[in-house]
Structure formats: C-alpha cells, structure tokens
A and B are shown apart, each in its own frame.
Chain A
Amino acid sequence: MSVAEEQIERHAPQGAWRTLVRGLQLSPEFRKGLGWTLLLAVVSTAGTVVVPIAIQQTIDQGLLSDEGPDFVVVTSRAVLAVVAILATAVAGFGMHRRLVRATESALSNLRVRAFKHIHDLSVLHHATEHRGAFVSRVTADVDTISQFMEWSGIGVVIMSGQLLLATAVMFFYSWELTLVVIGCFVPLVFVLRFFQTRLSRLYDAVRGRVAEMLTAVSESVMGAQVIKGYGVEERANAKVKGTIDRYALSAYRAGRTSAIMFSTGGLFSAAATSAVVVVGVNMGIGGSMTTGRLVAFLFLVSLFVAPVQVLTEVLDQAQNAISGWRKILSVLDTAPDVADPAGGGSVSDIPPGPISVRFEEVAFRYPTGPVILDRLDVAIEAQSRVAIVGETGSGKTTFAKLLTRLMDPSSGRVLVNGVPLDAVPFEQLRRRVVMVPQDGFLFDASLAANVRRGRALLSDEDIRIAFGELGLSDWLDALPQGLESRVGERGEMLSVGERQLVALARAYVANPDLLLLDEATSAVDPATEVRLQRALEGLTRGRTTIAIAHRLSTAEAADEVLVFDRGVIVQRGPHHELAEEQESVYASLHRSWMSQSRRVEVDGRL
C-alpha cells in the first residue's frame, strides 16, 4: 500500500545539523551530567599536550641550555609528566564510563519510544509490507547511533578538547606560527564539507539497501513453506542474493569515498609542517623562536592533525548516525493518523451496557484510491446479532476497521451508544469493542500465555473454563501439554483452524460488549464452528455480536443480515426474508452456498 509509505516519506528530509540537534534533543539522558563528562574529557585530553611540552622543556631547559643538560630538571619534569599522563588516563576511564552509560540508557529509551510509536501508526496493520524496515528502525538504526555516540562521540569530545589545548599551547609559544598553522587547515574544512555532502547521500543509500536486504531475507524465511513445496529455492536465493550484493556494493562505495576523504588530512598537515619549518626557522634566525619551541610546534601540528583526521572519520559515523536518526525521526514525526483522544482533546466514555452502533454518512477512500465505502448510514441495535456478507472488496473489512477504529472515515461519523468513536479513549475502546481477525496470529509462547495476553490475572482454571464454555474442552484435553502447549512462532505449531480457536478464546475472555468476528472461524471445521456459534450466542445474549462471514451458516443464524456490495449496503433484514428476494445479491450468494454445503447426496436422509 503505497499510501502508507507516502505517509511516512512525506516528511521532507531535514539538514544534517538539524537532524543531529533534534536527535540529541530526543534523549535528555545525553544531557544529564554532561558537564562532568565534559570536564573529565578536558582533563583526559591534557595528556596529549604533555608530550610536546615535555619535549620543549627537555630540549630548551635540558639539552640546549647553556650550562649543558640538567639531569635533575629533566628527571623531575619527566616524573611530573608521567603523573599527568596517568591522571588523564583515570579521567579518560571516568569519561568513557559515563558516556557509555548515558548513551545506552538514552538509546534504550529511544528504541522503546520508537517501538511504541510504530504500534500507534496504522501503517503497521494496514500494510504488512515494510515490517522488516520497521524492525530495523528499532534495531540497526539505533545501533548506528550507539556507535557514533560511544566511539565517535568520545572522539569528538576528546579531539575538540585536544584541538583547543593544542591551540592554547601553540599561542603561548608563538601566536604568529599558530596563525600559520590555522591558515593551513582552513581549506581542509571546505574539502571535508564537499565530501560530507557526498557521503551523506551514499550512507542514506546504504541504509535503504540494508532495509531492502532484511525485507528480502525475511520474505524468504517466512515463505519457506511455499519455496520448498514448489522447489523454487534457486529463485528465492537469487532474489536474496541480489539484495545482499547491492547492499555490499553501496557500502563499498561509501567506504571508498570515506577513504579518500580520510587521506586528505595528512596532506594538509604536511603543508602546515612545511610552513612551520620555513617560518619558524626564519623566526629562530631572527631570535624570536627557540629550537625547543620550534620542535614542540612540529609535535603540536601533529596534535592538530589527529583531531581533524579523527573528526573527519567521525563524519563517517556521524553521517551513519544522522541517517539513523533521520529514519527514526521520520517515524516519530508521523503523527498517528488515528489518534488516541486520551492524549488530549475531548474525551467521552461509552455509556455502560451492551453497545449499539450507528454509522452516519460514513465514507471511506484511500487518498489516491477508489471509494471503498460510500456514504453509509446504518444503525445496529444493542444486543443484536448481525451478520455481514458480500463479495470480496465490497467494503466489509473496511466497515470492521472503521468500527474498531483501526482507521477513521474520510467523512461522516461512527457512534457507539451515541458517543462519537473518536472521542473514546483507546484503553476503553479496546476493552469494550474487540475484533477477532481472520489471521489468528499467536505469540511464540504457551497457549495459556496467549489467551492471557492483556488479562494477566486470569488463572489457568479461568482459561480452562473459557474453553469449556466455548465447547472446546475436548480439543484442549486432546493436546498432550494442554494449556502449556507451545504454539510456535506466529502459532505455526498449531493448525490454522486451531490458531483461530485460540484467538477466539483470547477475545472471549476479554469479555467485550461488542464482539466483531472478521472471518474468525474460516478455517475451523463445520461441526466445531457450529458449536462455537451456539456457545457464543448462548452466552453472549448480553452483548452485541457482528460477524463477517463467507459461510452463510452464520448469516442464517443471525438476527439480521447486512449485504454489502461495492461499498454500499444493498440488502438488510433477517435471512429468510433476504433469501426470498428474487434476483438479489443475497439470494445468489445463498444459492451457491446451498448447493455447496448441503443436501447434495444425502438429501434423502434428512
């Protein structure tokens, strides 16, 4: 569904800097105690300037002093230097630890936040596509930020400190030479910016390719049954291989560009060193520069280069992290199109008791698609049993999704017990209106745990009673591990029909006031289905039941049948009346059903 995709991609990509700032703002954990971390970082960078200063002192005070080398001075300064280096190492340890803690806490929270938000987006249940991509939002994309914040982030902090300290020491030795060095490094900034824009594009491509690869791999794994059944392993492999190779190629391209970018730092450093030698020697001849200071400058230039180099390298990971952030932000920035009124706005409670439903002039269409529901007006009384039938694409499922507020209508309103649906807090809505979808998705846990989802307080006995009330005790007892049976991923260790039984029990224990069954028993055997139907009716006279069904047995048993055709209700009434309307949609559906399911050969017996 490209609509869903557009919904997320619509946000214009933001600039790298803006994304970075917003990314950092997302996580207050980064800022907490940042002052101490920075202080430790400054202390830890001091170690690097200790060496050039020690060299200058050794040469000027020790080696080249007029009285010859002074060993006491050299040795005592060396001891001092070693102490300083050790102190900076301790500070470095403290800083690393703090940074790792802050980063991982921040990112864990970010992961959880994105996860929650993705669940709030209707894209997820509308379009099963791109689920792999969503998984990578909360895993791989967050990991790139982690790498940046912990390794490059430390790098940025240390290297910026080193840059500042080196500049300060240089200024102390000679401001003229300092200006010469800075002048040599200015063009590098422009060179780096040039590469930065290119890399930004390349890394965005890489991330896209990763998502593509994950999607392809997950398809090949989830479709393994068909692939094996049809012996088309080679074709499946070829498709996956294509995405793997494209990913590798795009990653290599980005890596190659970053390699060229990384190499430029050394050239500028050499230019600076050359300038320092030429200018410094001339200053030395003029008497305004000592040998020790000039040599110390050669070391300081290299201290200047390392940060620029590392910062250049950091740009790599920063680009990665920014792409990661951008992707996460694009998810977080997508406002849920179906918003929970509990978050603000006017809230209404559904009056207690069984639920009546009214659709007023409700229309639905996808932004770029055809009209699915066309100005639908319908009222369903509380406690009634309604069956909805109609051809594929007639709008039945859309009706169900609007009623459970998985989507909002394009125009018109849906009312439950007279209250507009979009004013009901989700927590209440999901408790009182429950839909059982056709796909009986189960979590990879025990059968009991699946029924207990959302109702943690249910005892095993409660669950057993629920199965009993649904007439499913026999089935449950036949399972060797009973309630403790593991159902496997998506419930795959159970048959499709069994999964539907569990899904139904799960909704049943939720005890909603309106139960909506969307083809919920399509894979269950007829005897069990009829038994279930009877159980649901017998026990649910207090509640409203709406069932979408292909099997017309459901319609036959309902108080009222709604017949959908191309987005409108064409017939409505009890089964026996509708079946008698000649040439009607329902009559023809019913004829087919009759000829298929009953009295074919054993007519005489009945």
Chain B
Amino acid sequence: MPTTDRHIIRRGLGILKMSIRLQPKAFSAGLAGSALYAGMTVAEAFVLGRVTDEVIVPAIRRGSITTAALVAAVAAIMAVALLKAIGIIGRRAGAFLMQYRLQADFRRRVTEQYQKLSMEWHRGHSTGSLLSNANSDVEAMFWLIAPLPLSCGVLFMVLITFVLLIATDPILTVIGVLLIPTIATLSHFYNRRAEALAMRAQEMRAQVSGVAHESFDGALVVKTLGLEEEETERFAERSEELRDELIGLGSVRAIFDPILEALPNIAVIGILVAGTFRIDSGDLTTGELVQFAYLFTQLAFPIRAVGWILGDMPRAVIGWDRVKRILSATDELSYGEASLNGSGKPAQVDVRKVSYSYEDDEDDNVIHDVDFDVRPGRTIALVGPTGSGKSTITDLLVRLADPHDGMINIDDADLRGLRRGVLPANIAIVFQESFLFDDTVRGNITLGAEDGEAEVREAAQLAQADAFVSKLPQGYDTIVGERGTTLSGGQRQRVALARALVRRPRLLIMDDATSSVDPTVEQAILRGLQAAALPSTVVIVAYRRATIALADEVLFLNRGTIEARGTHEELARSNAAYFRLVSAYDGPQEVSV
C-alpha cells in the first residue's frame, strides 16, 4: 500500500495517463475546448484592461466618448464571450465523453473478469462487494476525469498569465510565482490527511451495500423470524460508521477548500498594493492593473479544478487498487488445447483419487480419495447423507473447481487439458438449486444456443415443462423475472432440467434435480428419461428409490469418501447405513409416535 503523497500523486497521474491513452480523441476534444476556454479567459481580462485604459478612463476624464469606441468595446467583449462558451461546451462534453467511456470500458473488464474467475473465488466474495467493485470503485477511479480538461486548461491559463506578467511587470510576477507553489504545498498536505479516510470511507460504502444486499436477499427469513429490528440495527451500525468516515473526510476538505479560495483573493490585494507603487513610478497603467486583478479573480474558480483533481486522487487511486485486485486476480482455471471426439456418443468418466477442500485446508477435505469410473452409456447414482460431498463431486465433474489432489478424465483426457468451451459442449448439469435468468423461458432453456423450436419443445416435454409453459401468457416467450421469480420452485426446476436435456449432452449430471416437483411429475420425468434413450452417460444424485432404480450402479458416499459401491440390491443387502438411508420412508408406522 502506498503511503506517501508522492505515491498517490504518481499513481493518480498514472491513472490519468492511462485514461488519455485509452481515450485520446475524447481527451483531445476536451483539451481543445479547454484551451479555447483558457485563452478566452485571459483574453477577457485583457479586453477589460484595454477597455478601462482606452475607453473608461479617458472618457470619464475628458467627458466625451465616440460611438465607434463603445461599439468596438462591446464587440470585443461579446466575441470573446462567444468563443469562451464554445470552449466550455467542448471542454465539458469532451470530459463527460471520456469519463463515461472509461467507466463503461472498465465496468466491462471487471464484469468479464468475474465470469473468468473460479467458483471458489466467487464463494469468497460477496455479491455486494462485487457490485461495489463494478459500480462505485470504477466510478471513483474516473471521478477525476471530469475536471481533467479544465485542469489542463488551467495550466495553459497559468502559463499565459506568467508570460503576460513577465512582459508587463516583474514585481507582479513575484506575486504570481508565490501563489502557485503555495497551492501545490497545501495539496500535498491535504492528500496525506485524506488518503486513509477516503480508503476507509470507500470500504465502508462497500460494507453498507453488502449488508443491504444480503438483508434484502434474505427478506423472507428476516420476515418470518421477525428480524427487521435486528437487521435495521446491523445496517444502522454500518451506516453510522460510513457517516463518521465521511464526516472525517469532509472536515479535512473543510480546511483545504476555504484556504484555496482565499489565496487568489489575497494575491489580488497584493497586486493592488504593488500596482499602486508601480503606477506611481510609471511602470504600469491602470488598465494593466485592472487586467491582472481581474485575471486573478477569474483564476480563483478554475484553479480549484487542479485542487479537485489532487483532492480526488486518493479516492481514485483506492478505487483503482480495488479494481486492480479484481482484474489481476489469478484464480482463473487454466485451459489446455485438447478437444474431445465422439460427438453423439456417451462419454467415459474416470475420477482418480480426487480430494478437495475449501480454502486449501488440507485437514478439512470435503471429499477425500474419491475414485470411480463410469463406462459410456451407464448411469450411476451418488447416494449419501446430507453433507457427504455429493454436490462437490458434481461440481468437480463440470469443472467449477479443480481437485486439489488426483484428476478427473473424460474419454481419457484430463479435464484441465481441454480447451475452453469443450467441456460445456459435452456435459450438462442440472444443479440442485435452479437458477433462472431474467429472460424468456426459451432463452433460459437454450441459453443463446441456436436450438430449433422442435428441440426446445422436445426437451421441455421430457422435463415435464411443456404443459405449464404452453399455458403461460406468452408461452415460451414469457419473461420469467429476476431469478425466475414468477415460476414456482418446481417449475423452475423443470425449466432447468430442459436446459440440460436440450443440449443432448454426452454426460448428463443431475444433482437432486427433481427435489421440488410433485411425486406424479417426478415419476413422469423419470419414465420419460428412461424411454428417451439419451446419448448420455448419466451421473445422478438421488435419495428416492425410483430415481436410484434408474442407475446401473450406486456409489454410497459418507463423510467425503466412497463407502460402498455396487448395485442397489447389493448395497441394500451389504451396507446397513445405506439401507437405513434409502428405506427411511418405508415405515410410516415406525415414524409416527
């Protein structure tokens, strides 16, 4: 973490340099506008000085004026104002264009990176914080783009001012020279104070948003357990922490801003005093004095833009740090170059001594030394108590994560050696929790693939979804709402199943994929699957016997290891724990008290 002002400014300038490199055209437009604006601001002071010397002073002294002189004065004033207005539009439009394009560019990079990073990485990062990275951190990063062209214009303005000062009077030049370094020094002092505060405020902002996100996400639980007060308390705590950070940050700015504003005014007074002496000694005219006094008052506003940029640098640098943490996260799965042949034919699966744990905890394996194979076209069932590692195995099979030990092969090819996209083209999984996108039913089934109407309907029929989908207001074109909210749990599950089936995968994985559907519907689904003669090897996580009965073989998992393997009949005979699990429903008379 950088701690010095120099660091902040150097890195802040780095962001600016990168921004200019990425958006040269928008920047040039803004810069051109700003240069015009700066030139015209100086010209304005110059015109007023000339008008004072050549129109006002002589006219009032002589008691007469020509119309031509007045017309010339008005024309000069208006022309300069018009050009300045054009400059302002160019400067601001250019700045906005640059700022929003950069924001959009980095939001795309960040969100694309989210899709590249592994599920393990995702588990360690809350949705709220990821939203905050894509939204407010990117915004903070480019906050200082808006005043950038203006600031460049100010530098130009200062330059012209110095040239004019040097050409006019050395004493006035000294005052100008004193003003600029003072502002620079103050900015340094400010940056040091503000950096830590800005960083914490930004983190607090993310936390506030994280709590809100989680709490709204769990609204049903909050409601049913009457946790509203407790949740509000939790949110209020974070919100108050954010408030305190922001007050701290604002107080630092409260010191910096008035001083920056006062400095040019004090400089103008200095110019008046010095100017009086210089005029008396004949080195300066009244008009020139008016010109510089006016110029310094006009500098007061834009020169603060430099202050804004310097002031926003800590925030921008921190935003950039947080964005960079996402962009440089290396927890992506790596891909090889291999591909799979044998399209249309069931796949062979080999799981070799696979272990996996969350967070690299060697002693805390979720699954341990799991070893099995599935020959093409066979169906195996993973059966085991809650928490025995079944879903972890299915996640590894579709490569949501890689095993920490051992390896998984499909058709003798290590999953890790396959080219990106090869695996999804061959495998489809129905997750235990069906996630639907805010899209049409069709879109949720095809996920953008070019499946024909017939294929979609066929898959939906097999998943027992066609009947209810056809009754929806727009049929397959009905939008299902965020996370499929307009459908019931069982309906969502059936759409998710159709999504897998339409792909005619060579390996089909179903992770308790019918847990939310009625027994009647489930039966229809299972019968359909049996009759459909899919070109698939099937791995199925199940509890119910009818589902297990579909399997050629059963793997019985307990506490992360395969405890027994065989047909259902063999296991039911030889393994008491297995028998207890699958026959739990058999004795209602035992169950009742």
Contact of B78 among A125, A249, A274 (CB under 8 A): A274
The reply to whether B265 and A105 form a contact with Cβ atoms under 8 Å apart is: no
Do residues B523 and A596 form an inter-chain contact, with CB atoms below 8 A? yes
Q: Which B residues, 10 to 69, have Cβ-Cβ distances below 8 Å to chain A?
A: 48, 51-52, 55-57, 59-61, 63-65
B231 at the A interface (CB under 8 A):
yes
Let me know if A119 and B269 touch, CB within 8 A: no
Closest to B333 in A: A228
Using a CB-CB cutoff of 8 Å, which residues 310-352 of chain B contact chain A?
none
Q: Is the CB of B115 within 8 A of A220?
A: yes
Verify A100–B486 contact, CB threshold 8 A: no
Q: Which residue of B lies closest to A86 (CB)?
A: B262
Q: Which residues of B contact A48 (CB under 8 A)?
A: 265
Residues of chain B with a CB closer than 8 A to A552's CB: 519
Known: A135-B212, A139-B208, A229-B424. 9 other contacts (CB 8 A): A47-B262, A214-B131, A217-B135, A263-B86, A392-B491, A406-B224, A437-B220, A498-B387, A527-B584
Q: Provide the bound-state CA to CA distance between A259 and B33, in Å.
A: 12
Interface set, chain B 111-129, CB cutoff 8 A to A: 111-112, 114-116, 119, 122-123, 126-128
B568 at the A interface (CB under 8 A): yes
CA gap between A523 and B429 in the complex, in Å: 17
Which B residue's beta carbon lies closest to that of A250? B100
23 pairs from A and B in contact (CB 8 Å cutoff): A64-B286, A85-B266, A88-B258, A96-B250, A115-B235, A115-B239, A119-B228, A125-B223, A127-B482, A229-B400, A231-B420, A259-B89, A291-B286, A392-B517, A437-B224, A489-B214, A522-B515, A525-B584, A530-B591, A550-B490, A551-B585, A592-B523, A601-B572
Contact B81 A524 (CB under 8 A): no
The answer to whether B386 touches A501, judged by C-beta atoms less than 8 angstroms apart, is yes
B88 to chain A: which residues have CB within 8 Å?
A: 259, 262-263, 266
A273 within 8 A of B: yes
Smallest distance from the beta carbon of B481 to chain A beta carbons, Å? Answer: 5
Scan residues 231-260 of chain A and give those whose CB is less than 8 A from a CB of chain B: 231-233, 235-237, 240-241, 244-245, 247-249, 251-252, 255-256, 258-260
A602 at the interface (CB under 8 A from B): yes
> Which residues of B from 97 to 148 have beta carbons under 8 Å from A?
97, 99-101, 103-104, 107-108, 111-112, 114-116, 119, 122-123, 126-128, 130-131, 134-136
- A284 CA / B55 CA spacing, docked (Å): 11
B 238-258 binary contact with A (CB < 8 Å = 1; else 0): 011011001100110111011
Q: Is the CB of B546 within 8 A of A596?
A: yes
The A/B interface has a contact count, at CB < 8 Å, of: 555
- What separation, in Å, do the CA atoms of A44 and B499 have in the docked complex? 66
The answer to whether A547 has its CB under 8 Å from any CB of chain B is: no
The chain B residue with its CB closest to the CB of A118 is B216
**A406: chain B residues within 8 A (beta carbon):** 220, 223-224
Q: Which residues of A contact B253 (CB under 8 A)?
A: 96, 100
Q: Mark A421-447, 1 if CB is under 8 A from B, else 0.
A: 000001101110011111101111000
Bits for B204-217, please: 1 = Cβ < 8 Å to A, else 0: 01001100111111
Q: Which residues of A contact B246 (CB under 8 A)?
A: 100, 104, 146
CA distance A489 to B240 in the complex (A): 23
CB neighbours (8 Å) of A480 from chain B are 361, 363-364
Is residue A132 within 8 Å, beta carbon to beta carbon, of the partner chain?
A: yes
| Given A218-B127, A244-B111, A453-B227, A107 contacting B421 (CB threshold 8 A) | no
Q: Contact between B584 and A526 (Cβ–Cβ < 8 Å)?
A: yes
- Contact partner, B96, options A229, A256, A295, A404, Cβ 8 Å: A256
Question: Chain B interface: which of A172-180, A181-189, A457-465, A531-539?
Answer: A531-539
- Does B423 sit at the interface, judged by CB under 8 A? yes
Q: Which of A353-389 contact B (CB under 8 A)?
A: none
Residues of B close to A537: CB separation below 8 A: 592-593
Q: Do B432 and A1 have beta carbons less than 8 Å apart?
A: no
> Which of A1, A269, A489 has the largest count of B CB atoms less than 10 A from its CB?
A489
Say whether B130 contacts A221, CB under 8 Å. Answer: yes
Closest to A70 in B: B276
> What residues of chain A lie closer than 8 Å to B73, measured between beta carbons?
274, 277-278
3 cross-chain pairs, A with B, having the tightest CB-CB distances, nearest first? A430-B226, A231-B424, A270-B81
A90: nearest chain-B partner, CB-CB: B258
Nearest-neighbour CB distance to chain B for A532, whole angstroms, equals: 10
Residue B474 CB within 8 A of the other chain: no
Q: Determine if B582 is an interface residue (Cβ-Cβ < 8 Å).
A: yes
* Smallest Cβ-Cβ distance to B250: which chain A residue: A100
User: What residues of A have a CB within 8 angstroms of the CB of B108 in the complex?
Assistant: 237, 240-241, 244
Which single member of A54, A59, A306 contacts B269 (CB below 8 Å)? A54
**Quick check: B400 and A431 within 8 Å, CB to CB?**
no
Complex Cα spacing A280 to B482, Å: 67
Say whether A534 contacts B591, CB under 8 Å.
yes
